[in-house]
Chain A
Amino acid sequence: MDILSFGQLVVSGAFMGLVYALIAYGFQLTYATSRTTNFGQGELVTASALVALSITHLGLPYGLMLPCGLGFGALAGLAMERTAVRIALQEKSEGWIMLTIIVGLFIHSTCENIWGQADRPFPTPIPSEAFQVLGIAITPLELSVALGALGVMGLIELFKRRTLLGKAVQAVAADPEAAGLMGISARRAVMLSYALSGMVAALAGILVAPITTVGPPMASGLVLKAFSVAVVAGLDSGFGAILVGMFLGGLENLTSFLVGSGWRETPGLALLILTLAVRPNGLFGRAAIRKV
């Protein structure tokens, strides 16, 4: 393999990896406030992208479609919280794992019936001609993915640290009961985190759809990869997810080249199981001690 091919594979893979990192970021948002992760996140990505697709088919320009799609994602996140997560949180059980899977399944089936089982092309105003940087081809679409992902993550981090509402959410993340005593509603914080997580999922879907086409089959593959990124980085690691996402994306492409395209997901999955076994809190996460 020559250096140019290596570079191309790594760079293209890293761009895709940012999408995984974006979805993983959505996991981190909900984990921070409620110690839950949405196992139906992949379906939220797909459903939001399909809704955005229908909006463009209705004739709306891209600039209007984007906020509508994000709005739908936020609503879907709220719906997920209300139906699948709240009851489990109230009873301090882990039922949300099963329930988010179930709600995801329902969304999947509904999408299949409304939009069909096959993938469809997604229109975009961004030009598709690639340009060369040091001999490596990059398309404006890939750049938009990177900018969108990093931009949104940066914005949300700013919101968390600079605004009062964001600090309230962080307080809930640190200690829900103490925050409650201070007058901060833990339930509202969880709702907000799920709405943000849904919005982030929608953005990921809309960004990546022009490259990969959009349809119900994309959900399950995406969610597992995003989970790999989230877990390997650590569910409370913030920007660590970006590094791990880019790494896993590049690794996928290299594996595809060296071993075969069918094996591309294997290193990520193996890394996930290994990390869970050896460092369950992730590479950048923090461990907790159990008190008896």
Chain B
Amino acid sequence: MGSPPLFTLILALSALSLRAGDTLLIALTGAFSGGSATQGTSMRDGARLAIQEINAAGGIPVGRHHLRIRVLERDDEGKNERGALIAQELASMAALSGVIGTVNTGVALAGDKYFEHKGITKLVTPCAGSQCMAQWSRAGVRNLSIFRFGVNDGIQSAMAVAELTRRGLTRVALLHDSTNYGVSGRDDLLREIRAQGKVQVVALEKFNMGDRDMTAQLLKARTGGAQAVLVWGQGLEAAIIANGMAKLGLKVPLIGSSALASSNFTETAGRNGNGTLMPETFIEEPINPPVAAFLARFHKAYRVTRIAAPMAAAQGYDCVKIFAAAVQQAQSADTRRIKEALEDLREPVAGVIAIWRHPFSRWNPADLQTHEAFRQDQAVMGMVLDGRIVFSDPADRDRLSRATTP
């Protein structure tokens, strides 16, 4: 905080926001219906839980008041044009402090430009497509209000290829869907494979959302002698692939993206899904007291025994906590102040995925990591086992447990 005019400005703005009421307005947006609904609703539920807890504790202390969080929910149905419309609507709201959410890469590409244009702070989660953030460095934006809170496809593809090498598998078939997500994931994977140099792609096949028969693509994988199948798409289509692999006798490991860690994959694939691997930042296991407590609270609040998409739920939860911490640091509900605080979070935030210490820094178009919260060592490989996602490597349990223990 430097010159007097700036100080006055901040004070005035704080006063304004306080006079606007003792509430902080946040928008929660994502695919709450449609093919990606499992991820979207889990993220929303995790975020709602965190908001509830904050409000129950009285709200975020700002000045002499406590700001309670008020939520606006918007369902983009996973459709790009709806995402654009919602973004336009939200961006025109004067009192909005921030936006959390988005599941689909295409939606982020279609809508986030409205937020960026108005400088509204957004935490993108659980959207993993690299393009979500790469679009800003490509556009040469100097001052960015968009942050991503999730393990992006760059990291996920590196982990997938590392897993292949670890198991000594050299011939792989790559199946991806035709959406932005699938295509950018394919590009990330191919880049990793090229860089690593030990793996050969024997079949590169595309499928559309809604395809229910992958026999043709899998036959090409089989005749190519694939030792593993990489899939980048949504849960349902990946499940059809798993079922198809079982039918054709293609008994090889199936490695996919984090989108597979949801009930629509496990329920549709059934037994054929066991052994499928995907990168995760959160596993639904009580690895230590803080995580166990979160799981208990979530199960109780939503009356479930299992979270549909655990990673998305945990990320939604932690996002709200980080946002609240930024509000508290900024001592303001103004979205620009919050963004500055986010870029320089001084106090650690106790989340369920990790203890967050300075997750973001000042935006540098040449270094996407400045607005990315996750690094590769924060992700683990999850494995499907009898309808649940578990640790593929037991050693990872300790690693994640240490991350959430102060």
Give CA–CA (A120, B262) in the complex, Å.
Answer: 13
Distance (whole angstroms) from the CB of B263 to the closest CB of chain A: 9
Distance (whole angstroms) from the CB of A7 to the closest CB of chain B: 11
Given A130-B249, A137-B247, A253-B213, also A5-B219 (CB < 8 A): yes
Which residues of chain A are near B33, meaning CB under 8 Å? 116-118
Contact of B211 among A9, A257, A261 (CB under 8 A): A261
Interface centre among B35, B219, B223 (most CB of A within 10 A): B219
User: A130 and B215: CB pair below 8 A?
Assistant: no
Given A12-B213, A16-B213, A118-B236, also A128-B246 (CB < 8 A): yes
Distance (whole angstroms) from the CB of B26 to the closest CB of chain A: 25
Proximity bits, B197-234, A CB within 8 Å = 1, else 0: 00000000111101111111101100100000000000
Given A121-B268, A261-B208, also A253-B215 (CB < 8 A): yes
Please give me the residue from chain B that is nearest to A260 by CB atom: B206
Stretch binding the partner chain, chosen from A26-34, A56-64, A209-217, A267-275: A209-217
Given A213-B212, A261-B207, A262-B178, also A8-B35 (CB < 8 A): no
Give CA–CA (A129, B264) in the complex, Å.
Answer: 20
Distance (whole angstroms) from the CB of A141 to the closest CB of chain B: 9
Which residues of chain B are near A211, meaning CB under 8 Å? 212
User: A213 and B215: CB pair below 8 A?
Assistant: no
Which residues of chain A are near B205, meaning CB under 8 Å? 261
User: B220 and A257: CB pair below 8 A?
Assistant: yes
Proximity bits, B82-103, A CB within 8 Å = 1, else 0: 0000000000000000000000
Given A9-B215, A137-B247, A137-B248, also A128-B272 (CB < 8 A): yes
Proximity bits, A1-28, B CB within 8 Å = 1, else 0: 0100100110010001000000000000
Number of B positions contacting A (CB below 8 A): 35
- Answer whether residue B289 sits at the interface, using C-beta atoms and an 8 A cutoff: no
Q: Which of B232-246 contact A (CB under 8 A)?
A: 236, 239-240, 243, 246
User: B210 and A217: CB pair below 8 A?
Assistant: yes
Please give me the residue from chain B that is nearest to A208 by CB atom: B212
A-side interface size class: 20 to 34
- Answer whether residue A139 sits at the interface, using C-beta atoms and an 8 A cutoff: yes
User: A118 and B211: CB pair below 8 A?
Assistant: no
- Answer whether residue B267 sits at the interface, using C-beta atoms and an 8 A cutoff: yes
- Answer whether residue A54 sits at the interface, using C-beta atoms and an 8 A cutoff: no
User: A117 and B77: CB pair below 8 A?
Assistant: yes
Which residues of chain B are near A119, meaning CB under 8 Å? 35, 236
Distance (whole angstroms) from the CB of B229 to the closest CB of chain A: 15
Distance (whole angstroms) from the CB of A213 to the closest CB of chain B: 6
Distance (whole angstroms) from the CB of B219 to the closest CB of chain A: 5
B residues near A (Cβ < 8 Å) are: 33-35, 37, 77, 178, 205-208, 210-217, 219-220, 223, 236, 239-240, 243, 246-249, 264, 267-268, 270-272
Q: A118-B35, A211-B212, A257-B219 given. 11 additional CB < 8 A pairs? A: A8-B248, A9-B215, A12-B213, A121-B239, A121-B267, A128-B243, A128-B272, A130-B248, A132-B249, A137-B249, A213-B268
A residues near B (Cβ < 8 Å) are: 2, 5, 8-9, 12, 16, 116-121, 128-130, 132, 137, 139, 211-213, 217-218, 221, 253, 256-257, 260-262
